[in-house]
Amino acid sequence: MSIGLIALLDDIAALAKVAAASLDDVASQAVKAGAKAAGVVIDDTAVTPGYVIGFSAKRELPIVGKIAAGSLRNKLLILLPAALGLSYFLPWLVTPLLMFGGAYLCYEGAEKVYEAIWPHSAHAHEAKLETVALNTTSLEDEKVASAVKTDFILSAEIMAISLAALPVSNVWTQALVLAVVGIGITVAVYGVVALIVKADDVGLHLAQNTSTSALGSISRGFGRGLVLGMPYFLKVLSVVGTAAMIWVGGGIVLHGIEAYGPPAIHHAVEGAANAVAQAVPAMAGVLHWAVVAAISGVLGLIIGAALLPVVEHVIAPAWRALKAALPFRKKSV
């Protein structure tokens, strides 16, 4: 009996070691896969605070929480099973879908550029579009819906990059790794976003410190710096977020064009990047990335600008007509 118990304990210990090794492997793969998507993660972090600007301080964290919850739903309930299913059954469809999402990001970014340059025309353009949410009850609902929709595209790119970075393994391991990546990135992104949007409140609290010590004086100075500097930082971040949407969207479309289009396009982009990189060997890597990013940005801006009239005069009227024809459409009161 005792020998059997010892054998059972040995088996349990062996299984525990295998499980621990598997968890270590999952964690290692998740870190590597997440690192591959770092560029899109940074873009996601830069884009999101713009959706919170303009709301009262007490609504900032609840809005960030709503967007984070929507992001988790996007990643875990929709994109994770979709990514695995498409990679196994319809792998040829992944790139076209990502290109479609990239074009949407280009449109979103171009719309913000349009609003910054020609605000009156941009407002007239927006007035002709349906609201982004089907049943919004407030501006807050609309902003959250818009943020979650943009996050969906960025999250799709994150999950696709992460999946591509994983070694060939069973579907359950891949699913677990993608889940870890999705949760980890969401916590990191929206944790940083929460810190950004509440930094001015923290600064105000520090500036009101009444301590007469040297540390108190430093605290007040730092707090005043935060209060004065955060509005400018948020404006810069808004510009970065808009540029990020255009760059990432253009990069996704460019990658698709390279995959499906003539090889000359890929060779031309690489040739331009290599020529600039070779001119300054000490900064070759940075310059190569900068040229590809610039080309992606220009392409993204062109695509987004081309889509503005298409959305206004074709997609929006078609969507309104479809909604009007739906038999279960709610009548306005």
Which residue range is the domain that position 94 belongs to? 24-325
| Type of residue found at 216 | G
Residue 61 lies in a domain: yes
Residue 331 lies in a domain: no
Structural domain count, the chain: 1
pLDDT at 207 over 80: yes
Give residue 155's pLDDT band: very low, low, confident or very high (50, 70, 90): confident
CB 277 within 8 A of CB 284: yes
Residue 8 lies in a domain: no
Percent of the chain with pLDDT over 70: 77
**Helix, strand or coil for residue 106?**
helix
Distance CA 231, CA 235 (A): 6
Give residue 121's pLDDT band: very low, low, confident or very high (50, 70, 90): confident
Residue 159 lies in a domain: yes
Residue 268 lies in a domain: yes
Residue 45 lies in a domain: yes
Q: Could you give phi then psi for residue 187, rounded to 5 degrees? A: -60, -45
Average pLDDT rounded to a whole number, residues 188-204: 85
Residue 11 lies in a domain: no
Residue 1 lies in a domain: no
Of the candidates 76, 315, 101, the residue with the CA atom closest to the CA atom of residue 180: 76
pLDDT at 113 over 60: yes
